[in-house]
Structure formats: C-alpha cells, structure tokens
Amino acid sequence: MNEAQARPLVLKQQASCDNKTRKRSLGVLLNSWLPAQSQISDDNMKKLWKGLFYCVWHADKLPAQTHLIDSLSSILLQLYLPLSVHYLSVFLLTMRREWTGIDALRIDRFYLLIRKFMHSFFILLKKNSWDLELPTLLMGVLGEGTFLADDNSLRNGVNYHIAFVFLEELRSFLPLSKQVIDVLLGPFLSAIGKVQDKILLAKIKSDVFVCLLKMGNKLLEVKKSKVDVETGDDALMLGSITLTLEFSAEFCELGSAVECPQGNRKVLFGLHEQFLKLEKDFASLGIDICLPEVNKDTNEDKVPTLVPLSIGMEMACSNSDAANLSGCKRLKKCKWLRRRQRQAAVERRLRSRTIFLIVTLKRVIMWLRQIVAIQMMKTIIQLIWSHLMNL
C-alpha cells in the first residue's frame, strides 16, 4: 500500500468519534503502513499527527490511554532512522500547536505522552550505540525546533514538561560518555542563555541545573564523610556530571555574551557562583572526580516491541498490565510534583507581597517623620522670630 492509497484510510479516520473506526485505522497505520514507509512528505506527516493527536484526545479510559500512548511512542523505534527523526519533530510541532486547546481533564494523558516519547527518544539513541551524530541531530530538534523555535508561539507548556522529565528519563540510561552528555545538555545551556520566556528559564534552571547542583553537593558530603557510594546512586551518576562538565565556566561565558537578555544574565551569574563554589570545595579536598565507566551491556534495556492494537484498545490486556501500572504511578507522581510546584509558587508570591508591603510601610513612616520634623522646625522658627520681634 503506497502513501497515496493509504491517505484516505490513515489520515482521515484517525480522528473519528467512532471507536471501531479509529482502532481499525490505527491497526493499519501502526502495524503495517507506517513501518513500511521510507519517507513521508512533511504535509502528510502533519496531517498524520493531527489525527493521532485526536486519537489520544478520544481515548477516555486509562488502560486505553496508556495502551495507545505506548503504541505511538514505541513505533519510533521501528521506523527508518530519518523517518523516526521526522516523526519526532512533527510530534513536537503538533503538541506545541494544539497545546492551548487541551482542557484540564485531558492534560495528564498528554503529559504522559511526552514522557513516553522522551523515554523512547533515549532508547533510540541507545539502540544506535549513542553515536554522536544522532544525538546531535535529535537534540537539534529539541533545541532549535522546540526551545528556541522562532514561531511566536505562546504554547510553551510542552517545553516546560520536557525540561521537567528530561533528567528523570535520562537517569536510567547513565552512565554515558562526556561527549554524549555534552550534546544532550547542550540545548538547555543554549536555551538558558537566549530564551525570553521567564517561566521556561526558571524551569530549565530548577529541573535541570539546580537538580545537578544538588546531586553535586550531595556527592561532596558523601566524599567528606568517606562513605562508599553505590554504583547506581544518583549522587554518583548526576553529581559526577556536575563536576566533570565544569558548568561554572559555561554559565560565565553565556552570561557575558552580548545577546544574553538581562534577566537571563542574572540567573546565569547566580548559577556560575554556585557551581564555582562547589568546584572549589572539591578542589580543596584534593578529590579527582570522573564519570563512571560506561556500561556497554546491550542486553540491558532491550528495545520494546511494537504494541499491537488488534486486541482492542478499550481492554487492559495482560501483556500491558505492567506498563499501565507504571503509567498510573508516573501520572500520580506528576500530579503530586505539579501540586508542590503550585504551592511553592503561591508561597513565593505571598513572600514577595509581604516584602513589598514592609518596604512600602517603612517608606511611609520615613515620609511621616520628615513631615513631622519639618513642622517642628517651622514652629521653632516662628517662636524665635516672634521673640526677636518683641525685643
């Protein structure tokens, strides 16, 4: 079946309100047509993802949602490599375009969809032995095509969630070589020095670099106490990245750039000071830190097979029970973390308002004191003048 013949089937029936029509169309699309293509035109790929977006939209039950999301993300590993890159880039473009139309009842399934795609993103890199050319290409999609996209789009919720889940999903694939880590974190360094969106700036700072800084400080405390660190410990894996890549110099260079916005400059120099202090503390202890040895065992984290759709998306099949349970747990974790972030944001606003009121009150008191002092001086001058006149 060529692209022209399949177009009426796979590009028009995916967004159907009828569940049977959607399942039949998706079965043809994911199990036979899409894996057989070597390339798809950009226009047809956009139409394809428009339909897939509404397939996720219409999936009302959690088992059906996780089953469909697993299918859409895992097929990234079954396509020809150039088509995988195209599939991923148009997925991100579609999510950014449709983001403002997603309501509160459906937002969690799209959060899970982004998380699953990021996980498949890293599996695809591992499947290709972390060859530097592929990470550079895919991180370019995330950087120039998403974080720094020049489309005047206010739909940055996709960017916020990618920044939120990136380190969490990367963690299970560590350790990696310094060159690969450089490429993977490159778009975040570029974005933090250029983005105008202050929320995205804060997200990248807190969810990526502050997290790395915390792990670096934790590793410092462990080294000071001379306690043995387990091989897979977060402090060792992420803390080693913090100290090996020497972020303080990167932040100083980005903050000193002419094109760096003033608000970003303040954030960058703040990070520079914190990372520089950590690096000096390690240097004063005389401890040499290097990245853990890369595990080249290819049997670990096997590439998952494509999830079949013929068994019915509305039923929780036995083969996907573990995936559904994992999806539920991650969904609850996402909700809990977002609730904590909202509470922290409210507390920060209250704190800033309180500080503003205190400063304003102090200014009013100083102003009143000045008025009272002026009135007293006027009274004293009048008394002296009247006394002189009487003489």
Name the average pLDDT for the chain: 79
Residues 134 and 249 in one domain: yes
In a domain? residue 102: no
Residues 19 and 70 in one domain: yes
pLDDT higher than 90, residue 291: no
CA distances from 225 to 222, 291, 391 (A): 5, 20, 85
Q: Please indicate whether residue 287 or residue 7 has the higher confidence score (pLDDT).
A: 287
* Contact status, residue 25 vs residue 54, Cβ threshold 8 Å: no
In a domain? residue 316: no
Give the pLDDT confidence of 31-68 residue by residue, as tens digits. Answer: 888 888 888 889 989 988 988 898 888 888 888 889 99
Counting every residue written for the chain, the total comes to: 391
Residues 44 and 133 in one domain: no
Rounded to whole angstroms, the Cα distance separating 91 from 55 reads 13
Residues 134 and 280 in one domain: yes
Alpha helix (H) residue ranges in the chain: 3-10, 19-28, 34-36, 42-58, 62-74, 81-98, 107-127, 133-142, 157-171, 178-192, 198-204, 210-225, 234-244, 247-256, 262-285, 321-390
Give the pLDDT confidence of 74-89 residue by residue, as tens digits. Answer: 999 989 999 999 999 9
Rounded to whole angstroms, the Cα distance separating 344 from 210 reads 16
Count of domains observed in the chain: 2
Residues 137 and 280 in one domain: yes
CA angle centred on 158, ends 64 and 266, rounded to 5°: 150
Supply the DSSP string of 259-276, one letter for each residue: TS-HHHHHHHHHHHHHHH
* Contact status, residue 212 vs residue 168, Cβ threshold 8 Å: no
Answer with the one of 279, 297, 315 that is the final residue of a domain: 297
Tokens coding 374: 């002026």
Residues 56 and 192 in one domain: no
Handedness of CA 21, 79, 168, 157 (dihedral sign): negative
Rounded to whole angstroms, the Cα distance separating 184 from 134 reads 11
In a domain? residue 166: yes
Please report, to the nearest 10 degrees, the dihedral formed by the alpha carbons of residues 203, 205, 211, 212 taken in order: 140
In a domain? residue 137: yes
Instruction: Select from 203, 205, 196 the least CA-distant residue to 251.
Output: 205
- The DSSP secondary-structure symbol of 38 reads S
Q: Please indicate whether residue 349 or residue 367 has the higher confidence score (pLDDT).
A: 367
In a domain? residue 342: no
Query: Would you place residue 20 in the very low, low, confident or very high pLDDT band (cuts 50, 70, 90)?
Result: confident
Query: Would you place residue 25 in the very low, low, confident or very high pLDDT band (cuts 50, 70, 90)?
Result: confident
Give the pLDDT confidence of 318-337 residue by residue, as tens digits. Answer: 444 444 444 444 445 455 55
| Residue where the block lists tokens 């003048």 | 385
Supply the DSSP string of 102-159, one letter for each residue: --TTTHHHHHHHHHHHHHHHHHHHHHTTT-THHHHHHHHHHIIIIIT--S----THHH
Answer with the one of 91, 120, 154 that is the final residue of a domain: 91
Handedness of CA 269, 235, 117, 79 (dihedral sign): positive
Q: Which domain holds residue 24?
A: 1-91
Q: Please indicate whether residue 312 or residue 164 has the higher confidence score (pLDDT).
A: 164
Please enumerate in sequence order all residues whose Cβ is within 8 A of that of 87, keeping only pairs 6 or more positions apart, or say none: 45, 75, 76, 79
* pLDDT for residue 341: 65
pTM reported for the whole predicted model: 0.71
Rounded to whole angstroms, the Cα distance separating 234 from 100 reads 35
Query: Would you place residue 388 in the very low, low, confident or very high pLDDT band (cuts 50, 70, 90)?
Result: confident
pLDDT higher than 60, residue 288: yes
Answer with the one of 277, 297, 317 that is the final residue of a domain: 297
pLDDT higher than 50, residue 299: no
* Contact status, residue 281 vs residue 248, Cβ threshold 8 Å: no
Rounded to whole angstroms, the Cα distance separating 338 from 356 reads 27
Query: Would you place residue 1 in the very low, low, confident or very high pLDDT band (cuts 50, 70, 90)?
Result: very low
Give the pLDDT confidence of 126-185 residue by residue, as tens digits. Answer: 998 898 888 899 888 888 778 877 665 556 888 899 999 999 999 889 888 889 999 999
Q: How far is CA 36 from the centre of its chain?
A: 32
pLDDT higher than 50, residue 303: no
Please enumerate in sequence order all residues whose Cβ is within 8 A of that of 317, keeping only pairs 6 or more positions apart, or say none: 67, 311
In a domain? residue 61: yes
* Contact status, residue 163 vs residue 204, Cβ threshold 8 Å: yes
Residues 265 and 173 in one domain: yes
Question: Helix 234-244 and helix 262-285: axis angle, to 10°?
Answer: 110
Give the pLDDT confidence of 363-378 residue by residue, as tens digits. Answer: 788 888 888 888 888 8
Residues 30 and 160 in one domain: no
Residues 51 and 140 in one domain: no
Residues 31 and 136 in one domain: no
Tokens coding 71: 């299918």
Residues 86 and 133 in one domain: no
Tokens coding 316: 């929780």
Tokens coding 74: 């895992």
* Least confident residue range of 33-37, 207-211, 217-221, 224-228: 224-228
In a domain? residue 208: yes
In a domain? residue 379: no
Residues 264 and 178 in one domain: yes
CA distances from 22 to 1, 14, 35, 72 (A): 19, 5, 18, 14
